[in-house]
Amino acid sequence: MNSRLPKREEVPVEMTWRLEDIFPDEGIWEQELHEAGEIAAQIREFEGRLGESAHNLCAAMKLYDECTLKLDRIGEYAFMRRDQDAGNARYQEMELRSQSAQVRISEELAFLEPEILAIADDVIGRFYEEEPELAAFEVTLTEIRRLKEHTLSKEMEQLLASAGEMAQTPYNSFGMLSDADLKFPPVTDGEGNEIQLSGGRFVPLQMSADRALRKESFDKFYTRYSEFKNTWAALYDGQVKQQIFYARARKYPSAFEAAVDANNVDPAVCDRLIDSIHAKLSYMHRYVSLRKKMLGVDELHMYDVYVPMVADYDRKFSYEEAKELSLKALAPLGEAYLSIVRKAYAERWIDVYENEGKRSGAYSSGCYGVHPYMLLNYSDTLDDVFTLVHEMGHSMHTWYSDHAQTHLNARYKIFVAEVASTTNEILLLEYMLSKARDPREKAYLLNHYLESFKGTVYRQTMFEEFERRTNAMAEEGTPLTADALCGLYLELNKQYFGKDMVSDPLIAYEWCRIPHFYYNFYVYQYATSFSAAVAIARRILKEGESAVKPYLAFLKSGCTQDPVSLLRIAGVDLSTSQPVDEALEVFSDVIAQMEALQEQMAGAAVRNSGETS
């Protein structure tokens, strides 16, 4: 790990994404920004006339499709430019201007939904018969009409739309503070080398075999966050209050119910998830006990959570090796699938390495009519290999939906968004396990499987509980102070990790750094998606083409059905607790495999010691 982060211009161009595929130059971005406003003005000409004829409704929807497509492209481009270098003032300006345009146009078009809702059911049915081209917008129109109870008058919709830019303030401020302004002190490794601590480097440092380095980076990282605890609390409080504001304005009993209904998901899905996890917290505690035993420590601390449990086995993977591994692991999905993955690598869909000012973490971002993009902060770890195939899964889902559906129909709901990514991860894991010959290598991979369950199922459910409880506190009038938030987070951490984990006081500040808390109840979907993906990947590996075909049909379906129905295409029914319960049993089985390997390796070590003496 280099001591200094490179500046953006120092990163090899072939390791950066080619955003010129969206707009060859910023002049075209400016032009499309202007054109989106012009199209919005054309749509406004239909105000008060949508219900007059099928022709009017269809013409307005065509313009709406064109306008939103331009806004999507404008927004994605500015968003990604800002994320590659948050300190660049020009990119900050572009992102803010794109957000302003989104809000302004949303305000101008606020009449659409109330007027669409005012059209009687029998009239809408007649419109579909009179204007065949209107069928292209049936999914969108049906979704609008589904939310009739929560749609307001034209004037009220305009008011809510005008508040949209203001509502982005907590998220924007969080991003600027965490990605651009927050600086960390350096840390020193066991050889005396100074390493610049950063958001992108924190987890790789926590994976180091050097326990003193892990502790130092943990202490300095969260101490730095704690110095701004009141600012983080104010930002999160602002986020929660804007969620509550919109939920109440739209006549929902809670912000949580508003969020899940926006995805057309029954709140019971999340309730069942939490119930299933609580019923099997003993599995998580058993995992923690195993981790403590395998690391050979008297006390297991939160800075021991990321380091592999298999000592003296820390394999590195270059980016080129990661790409080759991904192609081999994803082979069960077919050559057509692999050909698109190769295009992603060859045509610079991916921004690979960390640079100064770059957003931490990783994501895939869709751009209809071009191709998806992926942001990584690759640092040669096994986790980075899995992150690559994870984000590739998102991108492939987007690619298939975009090529099979119209722009509006391709927009799959967040609830299903993590399924393809996690299916890819499990296929990679199963491939690497099948090739592992050395017990230590197999244990290293099982360690990753366990980490995936810990991080994606249990941890994300813990995050969901934090969100639900903090939103409920705010809805009841309890102030979301830094102390209250830290106290709740520490309480949940102790509950989920159990008595064999020392919940270090500084872990109480972990909530401060989680960007997903600004995504409005996003996180529980990681856990449900992981559970679905376990079932899908195992079915693909067992049944082959007969399972791949319906899975690809699911990827191509966009938002043409509600999310739970879409997952049934791939053979998973999340209207029951079965997928989550079965996934947790897989977790238990992997723990048992690791326990057996640990005993095997310990026995071998004793025998080798005897032979040596």
pLDDT, tens only, 490-528 = 999 999 999 999 999 999 999 999 999 999 999 999 999
Domains of the chain, earliest start first: 8-167 (1.20.140.70), 228-314+414-608 (1.10.1370.20)
Answer yes or no: is pLDDT of 348 > 60: yes
Q: Which residues 6+ apart lie within 8 Å of 269 measured at CB?
A: 260, 528, 564, 574, 575
Lowest mean pLDDT among 152-161, 405-414, 528-537, 564-573: 152-161
Residue 179's pLDDT band, with cuts at 50, 70 and 90, is confident
Predicted pLDDT at 310: 87
Mean pLDDT, rounded, for 476-491? 98
Which of 391, 418, 467, 475 is flagged as catalytic?
391
Q: Which residues 6+ apart lie within 8 Å of 114 measured at CB?
A: 151, 152, 153, 154, 157
Using one digit for the tens of pLDDT, what is the confidence trace for 254-264? Answer: 999 999 999 99
- For the chain, what's the residue count? 613
Residue 347's pLDDT band, with cuts at 50, 70 and 90, is very high
Looking at residue 467, what DSSP letter applies?
Answer: H
Query: Who wins on pLDDT, 35 or 2?
Result: 35
Q: How many percent of the chain have pLDDT more than 70?
A: 98
DSSP character string of 91-139: HHHHHHHHHHHHHHHHHHTTTHHHHHHHS-HHHHHHHHHH-GGGGGGHH
Predicted pLDDT at 164: 86
CB-count burial class (<10 Å; 0-12, 13-18, 19+) for 433: middle
Using one digit for the tens of pLDDT, what is the confidence trace for 12-30? Answer: 999 999 999 999 999 999 9
CA end-to-end distance (rounded Å), the chain: 38
Residues 224-247 as b or e (16 or more Cβ within 10 Å = b): bbbebbeebbbbbbbbbbbbbebb
CA distance 193 to 198: 16
Predicted pLDDT at 453: 94
Predicted pLDDT at 606: 66
Predicted pLDDT at 97: 95
Residue 502 DSSP SS3: strand
Q: What global pTM score does this model have? A: 0.83
Mean pLDDT, rounded, for 582-609? 87
Predicted pLDDT at 600: 86
Mean pLDDT, rounded, for 82-87? 92
Mean pLDDT, rounded, for 355-379? 94
Of 94, 97, 116, nearest to 43 (Cα)? 116
Average pLDDT, whole number, for the chain?
94
Inter-residue long-range contacts of 278-285, CB under 8 Å, 24+ positions, other chains counted? 280/581, 280/584, 280/587, 280/588, 281/495, 281/496, 281/498, 283/584, 283/587, 283/588, 283/591, 284/454, 284/458, 284/496, 284/497, 284/498, 285/497, 285/498, 285/499, 285/500
Residue 610's pLDDT band, with cuts at 50, 70 and 90, is low
CA distance 96 to 101: 9
Predicted pLDDT at 231: 98
Answer yes or no: is pLDDT of 605 > 70: no
Using one digit for the tens of pLDDT, what is the confidence trace for 405-458? Answer: 999 999 998 889 889 999 999 999 999 999 998 888 899 899 989 999 999 999
Predicted pLDDT at 499: 97
Task: Say whether 14 is catalytic.
Answer: no
CB-count burial class (<10 Å; 0-12, 13-18, 19+) for 497: buried
Lowest mean pLDDT among 55-59, 412-416, 558-562: 412-416
Predicted pLDDT at 165: 83
Mean pLDDT, rounded, for 468-486? 98
Residue 457 DSSP SS3: helix
Of 171, 61, 18, 40, nearest to 106 (Cα)? 40
